[in-house]
């Protein structure tokens, strides 16, 4: 089977070895960085995380545009208000995971710095930023548009952070990861043990459920060789018919829980337009309470399972059961 075929065949493709992206300085720059010790061919994710003192290591996956980063930022904000030391790491080339926490698009990502500096010149303060209420914010970044591999960029970024010991100690580290591409690079937080508790953000729409089911397949694969587990679904409502009931049944099919169902509320859009989380923009709103309850549930959650993905026919039947109601 060709490499392209194997990528199409599963959500997560485990590379046989590192294949660096064609960034501005190309492969030569990465090889120089690897030779100098700035990055390694394989990251010691779990051990490095333990040394950093991380108590909880979670990741949010989900279809692009489902509201994953908005949910992640509001959860981080709520956890910080609980007195937790929180670190949010955006693993998406769009570079927008931490926008609501920083109040702007991150001005220097890890890969921005890799492209413009020699490895030995990169300092932790160049790539680790402080957001609202003291939340640590990092954006992995991606290659220039049309050049290179974004998944490989995630690998380079996380390995560099690990090697530099750039992250401060945290009670919870949240990896916000693009989840609808068939690329092993985006599996890095799972494959190398950076995150052990995986949350899937989904609506009741078919393609969102399809992406969620593919992510569950990846979690199941890596659960066989490590501690990674599915911690639950987070329903982010699109106001489709019977949406909450559909997600409850889908969670049961996957052998997991619907840990929260987030209603659609205009206050979320208003907060985003003002580059703030709901916790900052409207802390007394009912929507802020929704995020507070989700943060508390995540902090207390010990219900971790190996998922049982379903077939596409079963997904279609599920949507037909609930999605055709008037």
pLDDT at 159: 87
**Tokens 């392209």 -> residue:** 4
Neighbours of 95 (CB within 10 A): 19
Q: Residue 126, class by beta-carbon neighbours within 10 Å (0-12 exposed, 13-18 middle, 19+ buried)?
A: middle
pLDDT at 11: 33
Tens digits of residue pLDDT in 242-285: 999 999 999 999 999 999 999 999 999 999 999 999 999 999 99
Cβ within 8 Å of residue 88, ≥6 positions away: 72, 73, 76, 97, 98, 101, 131, 135, 136, 137, 138, 173, 174, 176
Query: By mean pLDDT, which of 2-16, 93-107, 145-159, 297-311 is the weakest?
Result: 2-16
Q: Residue 275, class by beta-carbon neighbours within 10 Å (0-12 exposed, 13-18 middle, 19+ buried)?
A: middle
Active site residue 265: no
More confident residue, 295 or 20: 295
Q: What is the mean pLDDT of residues 136-164?
A: 82
pLDDT classification of 148: cutoffs 50, 70, 90:
low
Question: Which member of 84, 94, 217, 244 is catalytic?
Answer: 94
Considering the chain, what is the average pLDDT of its residues? 83
pLDDT classification of 142: cutoffs 50, 70, 90:
confident
Residue 37 has pLDDT above 50, yes or no: no
pLDDT at 185: 66
Active site residue 244: no
Question: Which member of 56, 63, 92, 176 is catalytic?
Answer: 63
pLDDT classification of 21: cutoffs 50, 70, 90:
very low
Full-model pTM: 0.82
Residue 40 has pLDDT above 60, yes or no: no
pLDDT at 99: 97
Active site residue 121: no
Nearest Cα to Cα of residue 114 among 2, 20, 230, 221: 20
Looking at the DSSP assignment, which residues form a beta bridge with residue 139?
Answer: 90
Q: What is the mean pLDDT of residues 229-239?
A: 96
pLDDT classification of 180: cutoffs 50, 70, 90:
low
Residue 67 has pLDDT above 90, yes or no: yes
Reduced 3-state DSSP string for the chain: CCHHHHHHHCCCCCCCCCCCCCCCCHHHHHHHHHHHCCCCCCCCHHHHHHHCCCCEEEEEEECCCCCHHHHHHHHHHHHHHCCCCEEEEEECCCCCCCHHHHCCCCCCCHHHHHHHCCHHHCCHHHHCEECHHHCEEEECCCCCCCCCCHHHHHHHHHHHHHHHCCCCCCCEEEEEECCCCCCHHHHHHHHCCCCCEEEEEECCCHHHHHHHHHHHHHHHHHHCCCCCEEEEEEEECCCCCCHHHHHHHHHHHCCCCEEEEECCCHHHHHHHHCCCCHHHHCCCCHHHHHHHHHHHHHHHCCCCECCCCCCHHHHHHHHHHHHCCC
pLDDT at 325: 58
Task: Set out the domains of the chain in order of their start, with CATH numbers.
Answer: 17-323 (3.40.50.300)
Active site residue 68: yes
* Nearest-angstrom CA–CA distance, 141 and 149: 11
Residue 45 has pLDDT above 60, yes or no: no
Question: Which member of 92, 162, 176, 180 is catalytic?
Answer: 180
Residue 44 has pLDDT above 50, yes or no: no
* Nearest-angstrom CA–CA distance, 241 and 233: 18
Residue 92 has pLDDT above 90, yes or no: no
pLDDT classification of 81: cutoffs 50, 70, 90:
very high
Query: By mean pLDDT, which of 44-48, 61-65, 208-212 is the weakest?
Result: 44-48
pLDDT at 29: 43
Question: Which member of 68, 113, 162, 176 is catalytic?
Answer: 68
pLDDT classification of 182: cutoffs 50, 70, 90:
low
pLDDT classification of 324: cutoffs 50, 70, 90:
low
Residue 187 has pLDDT above 50, yes or no: yes
Residue 100 has pLDDT above 50, yes or no: yes
């Amino acid at each position: 089977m060709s490499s392209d075929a194997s990528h199409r065949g599963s959500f997560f493709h485990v590379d046989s070895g590192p294949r660096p992206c064609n960034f501005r300085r190309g492969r030569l720059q990465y090889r120089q960085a690897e030779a100098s010790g700035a990055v390694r061919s394989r990251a010691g994710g779990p051990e490095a995380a333990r040394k950093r003192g991380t108590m909880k290591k979670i990741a949010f996956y989900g279809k692009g545009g489902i509201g994953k980063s908005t949910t992640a930022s509001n959860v981080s904000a709520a956890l910080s208000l609980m007195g937790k030391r929180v670190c949010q790491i955006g693993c998406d080339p769009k570079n927008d995971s931490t926008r609501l926490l920083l109040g702007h698009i991150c001005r220097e990502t890890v890969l921005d710095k890799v492209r413009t500096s020699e490895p030995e010149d990169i300092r932790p303060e160049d790539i680790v930023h402080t957001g609202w209420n003291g939340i640590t914010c990092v954006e992995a970044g991606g290659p220039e548009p049309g050049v290179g591999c974004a998944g490989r960029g995630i690998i380079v970024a996380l390995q560099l952070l690990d090697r530099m010991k750039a992250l401060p100690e945290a009670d919870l580290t949240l990896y916000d990861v693009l989840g609808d591409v068939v690329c092993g690079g985006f599996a890095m937080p799972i494959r190398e043990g950076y995150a052990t508790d995986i949350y899937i953000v989904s609506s009741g729409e078919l393609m969102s459920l399809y992406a969620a089911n593919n992510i569950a397949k990846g979690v199941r694969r890596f659960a066989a060789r490590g501690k990674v587990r599915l911690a639950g679904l987070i329903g982010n409502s699109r106001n489709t018919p019977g949406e909450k009931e559909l997600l409850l049944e889908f969670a049961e099919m996957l052998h997991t829980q619907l840990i929260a169902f987030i209603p659609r509320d205009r206050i979320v859009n208003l907060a985003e337009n003002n580059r703030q989380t709901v916790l900052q923009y409207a802390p007394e709103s009912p929507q802020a309470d929704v995020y507070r309850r989700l943060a508390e549930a995540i902090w207390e959650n010990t219900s971790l399972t190996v998922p049982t993905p379903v077939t596409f026919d079963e997904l279609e039947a599920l949507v037909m059961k609930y999605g055709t109601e008037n």
